[in-house]
Amino acid sequence: MARRSMETVAAHVGEDLVPAATRPVSMPIYQTSVFAFPDLDTVEAVYKGDSDAFLYSRMAHPNGSALEAAVAELEGGESGLAAASGMAVINDVLCGTLGPGDHAVVTAECYGGTFGLFEGPLRRRGVTVTYVAAADAPSVAEAIRPATRVVYVESISNPTTRVADVPALAELYRERGLVLVVDNTFATPYLFQPLAHGAHVSLSSATKFLAGHSDVTAGVAAGTREIIGAARSYHTTTGATIDPFAAWLTLRGLKTLALRVQRHSENALRLARFLDGHGRVEKVFYPGLESHLDHSLAARLLPSGNGGMLSFVVGGGMEGANRFIRALKLCQFVPSLGDVGTTVSHPALTSHRAMSEEARLRLGITGGMVRVSVGIEAVGDILADFEQALAKI
Ligand X SMILES: Cc1ncc(COP(=O)(O)O)c(C=O)c1O
Residue 185, interface with ligand X (CB under 6 A)? yes
Listed residue (274, 178, 198, 217) closest to 88, CA to CA:
217
Q: Which is nearer to ligand X, 274 or 333 (CB)?
A: 333
Q: Which of residues 116-175 bind ligand X (CB under 6 A)?
A: 154, 158
- Per-residue interface string for the shown chain with ligand X, residues 289-328, x marking contact by CB under 6 A: ----------------------------------------
CB 386, min distance to ligand X, A? 22
In what helix (H) or strand (E) does residue 41 lie, and over which residues does it extend?
helix 40-48
- Residue of the chain from 81, 109, 111, 251 that contacts ligand X (CB under 6 A): 111
Residue 205, interface with ligand X (CB under 6 A)? yes
CB 343, min distance to ligand X, A? 12
Buried b vs exposed e over 178-195: b needs ≥16 C-beta within 10 Å? bbbbbbbbbbbbbbbbbb
The alpha carbon of residue 246 and the mean position of all alpha carbons in its chain are separated, in whole angstroms, by 15
Partnered with residue 148 across adjacent β-strands are 103
DSSP assigned state of 197: G
Say how far apart CA 227 and CA 97 lie, in whole Å. Answer: 7
Active site residues: 58, 111, 183, 208
The alpha carbon of residue 34 and the mean position of all alpha carbons in its chain are separated, in whole angstroms, by 28
- Residue of the chain from 113, 167, 317, 341 that contacts ligand X (CB under 6 A): 113
- Residue of the chain from 207, 306, 322, 373 that contacts ligand X (CB under 6 A): 207
CB 111, min distance to ligand X, A? 4
Instruction: Return the C-alpha torsion angle 323, 326, 332, 333, nearest 10.
Output: 60
Q: Are the C-beta atoms of 374 and 310 separated by less than 8 Å?
A: yes
CB 109, min distance to ligand X, A? 10
Degrees (nearest 5) of the Cα angle 14, 15, 18? 80
Whose CB is nearest to ligand X? 86
- Per-residue interface string for the shown chain with ligand X, residues 343-362, x marking contact by CB under 6 A: --------x-----------
Listed residue (116, 119, 137, 114) closest to 129, CA to CA:
119
CB 118, min distance to ligand X, A? 13
Q: Which of residues 69-108 bind ligand X (CB under 6 A)?
A: 85-87
Q: Is 87 strand, coil or helix?
A: helix
- Residue of the chain from 77, 219, 288, 375 that contacts ligand X (CB under 6 A): 219
- Residue of the chain from 57, 217, 306, 311 that contacts ligand X (CB under 6 A): 217
List of residues contacting ligand X (CB under 6 A): 85-87, 111, 113, 154, 158, 183, 185, 205, 207, 217, 219, 351
